[in-house]
Each structure stands twice: as C-alpha cells, then as structure tokens.
Amino acid sequence: MDPKQKALLEHFQARIDAEEKIEPKDWMPDEYRKTLIRQISQHAHSEIVGMLPEGNWIGRAPSLRRKVALLAKVQDEAGHGLYLYGAAETLGADREDLIDELHQGKAKYSSIFNYPTLSWADIGAIGWLVDGAAIMNQVMLTRTSYGPYARAMVRICKEESFHQRQGYEILLALCRGTEAQKNMAQDALNRWWWPSLMMFGPSDKDSSHTEQSMKWKIKRKTNDELRQQFVDVTVPQADFLGITVPDPGLKWNEETGHYDFGEINWDEFWQVVKGNGPCNEQRMKARIKAHEEGAWVREAAMAYAEKRRKRKEREEAVRVA
C-alpha cells in the first residue's frame, strides 16, 4: 500500500474509533463504501419486498380499524424503502440500478419475506416478531458510523416500534378471544418463530462480513448477540400472550441470565437464501411485474415533463422577443 493511501486509511480508522460520523463527502475506503451500499440497498429492498406478504391481508383485514392500520403500516415500509434508497444514493449508487440488481437476483433482501402469510394472525406475528427482530438490528444501526444511514435509522426505528406494538396488539386480541382465534395465533407463532431467529443471519462463526463491519463500526453487535437479545426480550412476551414458542430446547438459564434455545435449521436458512424458500419466486415475480407494468407510466411521466419544459421555454422565448 502506498504511504498516502495508508495515511488516509489510518486517519479514517481514527475517526471511526473516535466515534465521528462519516459523511457523504468524506474520504472513505472503497470497501467501506461497497459494504454500505450493499447493506443499505439490501435493507431498502427488504422494506419493499416486505410490503408483499403483509399487503396480502389489506383486502382481508377483519375490521375497518385494522384495515386502516395495516394500510398505514405497509405504507410506512414503502417510505422506509424510499428513505434508504436515498441513503444509498448519498454513496453514489443509483436507485434504478439497485432495483435492477434486485430483479436480476444479484442483490439480496431479508429472507423472512419469502415465507407466506396464511392467516390474519400472521399480520400480528410479523409486526411482533419480524418488526421486533428488525428493531434489534436497527437500534444498533442508529449508532452506525455512516451518518446518513444512522440518521435514517433513527427515524425508521420510531415507526418500527410502533409497528411492533401494533402487531403484538393484534395477537393479544386473538389470544384474549375465542379458542379458534387463539389457535390461529399459535399456528402463526409456530411458523414465524424460527424464520424470525434466522433474520439475524448466520452464526458468528460462519459470518463472512462481521469482523470488518465491526471494526468500521457499521455493525456494533454480532449476529449471535442480537439474536440472543431478541430471544430474551420475546419469550416473556409470548408467555404473556399465553402461546408457546415452538422450541423444546428453550429454557431460562440462571447462570448466564439468558434463555438457552435450540439449534436453528441452518440448512433451511441457506436454502431460502439461495432462492428455494416457499415464496422466493412469487415475491420476485410480483416485484418484477410491478416494475415492468409500470414502465409505460414512468416513460409517459418523463415525456410529459419534457414537453412541459419545452413549452415553457417557447413561452419564455416569445415573452423575451
């Protein structure tokens, strides 16, 4: 490495170590930029693909109050996506390119959204568990070293915790309701529990990005630490609902002060990542369809804007003449 490059790197790391935020115009290592673009765009894609499983139930929400709340929630996720694409663009990425990468299967999104929503209780379970797991990760990210990303997270976290409470409240209504409703809630927990634990990513010993990301303070906690934190917070909430976490290995450990829990099915995890989850194909198909069928709208909007601009120029020219 040439000395100048080395000095830049050292200065950069010193700023990180001093808890300074890195801003778009600051010098940063290429690898830092790339890691952030990858992570932020993955996050943005997750918000957008995540609209699909919940969007399924807008039409079937069981009361008008729930319908409005779900609409607003899914709309919030769209807003998060927009905001995060914006954050990625501060690093020189282009939203259109990022979306193309998603559609070409080159970019990832959170695997959790490759699971189906089969009952109304799933909407509760997603809010409680999926938004809940996302918050664990995102609260950490409010202190991430890249300024625009950290600030996006502050705003997004507020809404995510609202989503989580709303989801929990849906389940609470079911668990305080009839037998059929409680069964519906239990079935949802059975299906969403393990995929939610998988949201934190591979175990630390198998995680390829963790070490460098920790050093750059993009991440501040490891996957396993966050996962443990999630289990510790969530299990008592399940107890309060009166439904059972589907893990025979789950047990409070006096010594560690944490819950012990069973082994995650990593084979399933990697299968879903590789595209073999129950809904990978449908999710991508829906996104690509929306994008392709929207092409004429985007083209027309641009053509119209161009026509207007020209018309205005002509009018100006006439006025000046």
Asked if 54 interacts with Fe ion (CB under 5 A), we say no
In the bound complex, what is the minimum distance in angstroms from residue 289's beta carbon to another protein? 8
Of the candidate spans 123-131, 166-174, 222-230, 282-290, the one that interacts with Fe ion by CB under 5 A turns out to be 123-131
Burial of residue 295 (number of CB atoms within 10 Å: 0-12, 13-18, 19+): exposed
Asked if 77 interacts with Fe ion (CB under 5 A), we say yes
In the bound complex, what is the minimum distance in angstroms from residue 288's beta carbon to another protein? 11
The count of C-alpha atoms lying within 13 angstroms of the C-alpha of 52, restricted to the half-sphere facing its C-beta, is: 24
Which of the choices Fe ion, another protein, none does residue 262 contact, using the CB cut-off of 5 to 8 A by kind? none
54, 124 in Cβ contact below 8 A? no
In the bound complex, what is the minimum distance in angstroms from residue 71's beta carbon to another protein? 5
What DSSP state is assigned to residue 146? B
Which of the choices another protein, Fe ion, none does residue 299 contact, using the CB cut-off of 5 to 8 A by kind? another protein
54 vs 247 by CB, closer to another protein: 54
Label residues 97-110 b or e (16+ Cβ within 10 Å = b).
ebbebbeeeebebb
Phi, psi torsion values for 22, nearest 5 degrees: -90, 130
Residues 99, 22, 12, 32: what is their CA dihedral angle, to the nearest 10 degrees?
-10
Distance, CA of 250 to CA of 133 (rounded, Å): 18
For residue 177, the tally of other CB atoms under 10 A from its CB is 12
Which of the choices Fe ion, another protein, none does residue 116 contact, using the CB cut-off of 5 to 8 A by kind? none
58 vs 264 by CB, closer to another protein: 58
66 vs 191 by CB, closer to another protein: 66
The footprint of another protein (CB under 8 A) covers: 48, 51-52, 55, 58-68, 71-72, 74-75, 78-79, 81-82, 85, 120, 170, 173-174, 177-178, 180-181, 286, 289-290, 293-301, 303-304, 307
In the bound complex, what is the minimum distance in angstroms from residue 115's beta carbon to Fe ion? 16
In the bound complex, what is the minimum distance in angstroms from residue 315's beta carbon to another protein? 16
**Of the candidates 230, 67, 167, the residue with the CA atom closest to the CA atom of residue 175:** 167
Q: Report the amino acid identity of residue 227.
A: R
Which of the choices another protein, Fe ion, none does residue 64 contact, using the CB cut-off of 5 to 8 A by kind? another protein
Asked if 163 interacts with Fe ion (CB under 5 A), we say yes
136 vs 174 by CB, closer to another protein: 174
Distance, CA of 295 to CA of 307 (rounded, Å): 18
Q: What is the CA radius of gyration of the chain?
A: 22
Which of the choices Fe ion, another protein, none does residue 134 contact, using the CB cut-off of 5 to 8 A by kind? Fe ion
Asked if 160 interacts with Fe ion (CB under 5 A), we say yes
DSSP 236-269: HHHHHHT---S-TT-EEETTTTEEE-PPP-HHHH
Q: How far is CA 189 from CA 192, 202, 278, 290, in A?
A: 5, 21, 17, 31
Asked if 182 interacts with Fe ion (CB under 5 A), we say no
34 vs 311 by CB, closer to another protein: 311
Which of the choices Fe ion, another protein, none does residue 131 contact, using the CB cut-off of 5 to 8 A by kind? Fe ion
**Applying CB under 5 A, which residues contact Fe ion?**
47, 77, 80, 131, 134, 160, 163
